[in-house]
Chain A
Amino acid sequence: MDIFGVPVQALMAQLMIGLVNGCFYAVLSLGLAVIFGMLHVINFTHGAMFMLGALLSWAGLYYFELNYWVMLFLAPLVVGVFGIVLERLFLKRIYKLDYLYGLLLTLGLTLIIEGAVRSVYGVSGKPYGPAPISGVTDLGFLMIPNYRLWVIVASLLVCAATWYTIERTRLGAYLRAATENPKLVEAFGINVPVLVSLTFGFGVALAAFAGVLAAPIMQVSALTGQTMIVIVFAVVVIGGMGSIAGTVVTGIGLGLVEALTKVYYPEASSMVMFLVMVLVLLVRPNGLFGGVE
Chain B
Amino acid sequence: MTRPMCYGFLLLALVAAPWMGLYPVLGTKILCYALFACAFHLLLGYTGLASLGHAAFLGVGGYVAGYGIKAWALSPELALLAGLSVGALMGLVMGYVSIRRSGIYFTMITLALAQLVYFLCVQIPQTGGEDGLQGIDRGMLFGFIDLHNDRVMYYTTLTIGVAAFLFIARVVRSPFGQALTAIKDNEPRAVSLGYHPDRYKLLVFTLSAALTGLAGALKAIGLGFVTLSDVHWMTSGHALLMTLVGGLGTLSGPVVGAVVLVTLENKIGELGALLAGVTGIGWFATLGESVMMIMGIVFVICVLAFRRGIMGELDALRRRVRTPNPAPESQS
**Chain A residues within CB distance 8 Å of chain B:** 36, 42, 90, 93-94, 97, 99-101, 103-105, 107-116, 118-119, 226, 230, 233-234, 236-237, 267, 270-271, 274-275, 277-278, 281-282, 285-286, 293
Q: Given the complex of chains A and B, what is the CA–CA distance between A107 and B233 in angstroms?
A: 12
Q: Is the CB of B112 within 8 A of A104?
A: no
Q: Is the CB of B296 within 8 A of A112?
A: yes
Q: CB-CB < 8 A to B100: which residues of A?
A: 281-282, 285
8 contacts between A and B (CB under 8 A): A36-B104, A94-B304, A112-B297, A115-B290, A236-B108, A270-B119, A277-B109, A285-B100
**A interface, over-half SS:** helix
The docked-state distance in angstroms from the alpha carbon of A90 to that of B298 is: 14
Bound: A116/B101 CA distance, A: 34
* Set of chain A residues within 8 Å of B202, measured between Cβ atoms: none
Q: A118-B292, A270-B119, A274-B115 are in contact. Are A237 and B300 (CB under 8 A)?
A: no
B106-123 residues with Cβ-Cβ distance < 8 A to A are 107-109, 111-113, 115-116, 119-120, 122-123
When A104-B303, A236-B108, A274-B113 are in contact, do A112 and B293 touch as well, CB less than 8 Å? yes
- Given A42-B104, A100-B50, A274-B112, 6 more A-B residue pairs with CB atoms under 8 Å apart are A118-B290, A118-B292, A236-B108, A237-B112, A267-B123, A275-B116
- Residue pair A108, B297 in contact (C-beta under 8 Å): yes
- Cα distance A277–B111 when bound, in Å? 12
CA distance A97 to B297 in the complex (A): 19
**Residues of chain A within 8 A of B113, CB atoms compared:** 274, 278
The number of chain B residues touching the other chain, given as a range, is 35 or more
Kindly state the separation between the CA atoms of A271 and B112 in the bound complex, as whole angstroms.
9
Within the complex, the shortest CB–CB distance from B187 to chain A, in Å, comes to 13
Which B residues are CB-close (under 8 A) to A100? 50
- Tally inter-chain residue pairs, CB-CB below 8 A: 114
Shortest Cβ distance from B83 into chain A, in angstroms?
A: 23
Name which residue of chain A comes closest to B296, CB basis: A111
- Which B residues touch A113, using CB under 8 A? 296
Pick from B108, B291, B304: contact of A105, CB under 8 Å: B304
Contact between A281 and B296, CB atoms less than 8 A apart: no
B165 within 8 A of A: no
Q: Given known contacts A94-B303, A119-B289, A285-B100, is B111 in contact with A271 (CB within 8 Å)?
A: no
Kindly list chain A residues whose C-beta atoms are within 8 Å of the C-beta of B115.
230, 274
Whether B97 pairs with A281 at a CB distance below 8 angstroms is yes
Complex: A271 Cα to B300 Cα, angstroms: 31
Q: Are B290 and A233 in contact (CB under 8 A)?
A: no
Given A90-B304, A108-B300, A275-B116, is A293 in contact with B244 using a C-beta cutoff of 8 Å?
no
Is B197 positioned at the interface, with any CB of A under 8 Å from its CB?
no
Can you list the 7 inter-chain pairs with the closest CB atoms, starting with the nearest?
A: A108-B299, A111-B296, A115-B293, A112-B296, A115-B292, A274-B116, A233-B108
Asked if A111 and B303 make an inter-chain contact with CB atoms under 8 angstroms apart, the answer reads: no
Nearest residue (CB) in B for A111 is B296
Which residues of the partner chain A approach B109 to less than 8 Å between Cβ atoms?
237, 277, 281
Check if B240 is an interface residue, CB within 8 A of chain A. yes
B295 interfacial contact with A, CB 8 Å: yes
Distance A93 CA – B105 CA, assembled complex (angstroms): 22
Contact B286 A108 (CB under 8 A): no
Give the residues in chain B near A97, CB-CB below 8 Å: 307
Which residues on the A side are within 8 Å of B237 (C-beta)? 107, 111
Check A271 against B295 for contact (C-beta < 8 Å): no
Residues on B with beta carbons closer than 8 Å to the beta carbon of A105: 299-300, 303-304
Report the bound CA distance from A95 to B225 in whole Å. 42
Q: Which residues of B contact A118 (CB under 8 A)?
A: 290, 292
Cα–Cα, bound, A264→B97 (Å): 27
In the assembled complex, the Cα of A108 lies from the Cα of B297 at a distance in Å of 6
Q: B194 on the interface (CB 8 Å rule)? A: no
